[in-house]
Amino acid sequence: MLGLIGAGGAVVAVPAFVYLFGFEPLAATTASLAVVAASATAGAIPRIRLRQVRLRQAVVFWALGIVGTLAGSRAAPLIPAAVIVAGFAAVMLGAAAAMWRKSSAVESPGRGRRAPWLLPVVAIGVGLLTGLFGVGGGFLIVPALVLVFGLPFALATGTSLVVVALNSMTALLFKADSWGTVDWHIPALVIVGGLVGSAAASRWNVGVSQRILERGFAVLLVVLAAWMVLEPLVLPG
């Protein structure tokens, strides 16, 4: 999914860790941070080589969001597992809505620098989501970079990968006390498989338009979010 549409790391990894590998929600979000950090770094390196990244803006965004990342990382162990699951489902719905809108959007150059107040708000919010739920938050970072810095979409996407990598690494360090709850050989295998799959998919011509892929992924996120909320009711115990 990451290779085909440039998104989908954590929002797929967390449910997989919970429902396929039996992780507790907190351990799943911690493991997801390692997966997201690795996949975002792998995606950012070729973008940097192609000069599709603005490192200064990425570092500013990351630095402003550290307080949110720290708060989310510290709060996560105090939140009941059911609340983490419900909150993650809400994040998935937000990502689905953003993906659906992106599939219909037409880029308008020169629209940026209209909302400077948006930068610290979104940076802290994304940091909070990263610390709490182990997500990268690219679906929020990209539009913020376009609006605040006036970056074209391609540059915003590349810059977002750097922010996601930095945020995920920072949150993983802040959650060092929960590393012992994670069976790390499973995330390691997921990282290796994800890197191979991403590289293969990015070179694979599936013959399907980007718009259809993005909308299909948005529908998948809605289905997964609904299952995460309804599963305790359908399968009690």
Q: Give residue 118's pLDDT.
A: 76
Asked if 32 and 14 count as a contact pair (C-beta separation under 8 A), the reply is yes
- pLDDT at position 153 is 76
pLDDT of 46 > 80? The answer is: yes
| Sequential DSSP letters for 98-110 | HHHHHHH----TT
The pLDDT assigned to 182 comes to: 92
How confident is the model at residue 174, as a pLDDT? 93
pLDDT higher than 70, residue 203: no
pLDDT digits (tens, 9 = 90+) for 53-75: 999 989 999 999 999 999 999 99
Closest CA to 65 of 155, 164, 193: 164
For residues 34 and 173, the answer to whether their CB atoms sit within 8 Å is no
pLDDT beyond 90 at 169 = yes
Compute the average pLDDT of residues 223-231: 85
pLDDT tens digits, one per residue of 74-126? 998 888 888 888 888 888 888 888 778 877 765 554 454 556 777 888 889 88
Residue 235 banded pLDDT, cuts 50, 70, 90: low
pLDDT of 215 strictly over 80 = yes
- pLDDT score, position 188: 95
Res. 207 pLDDT band, cuts 50 70 90: low
Q: What's the CA angle centered on 13, arms 11 and 19, to 5 degrees?
A: 105
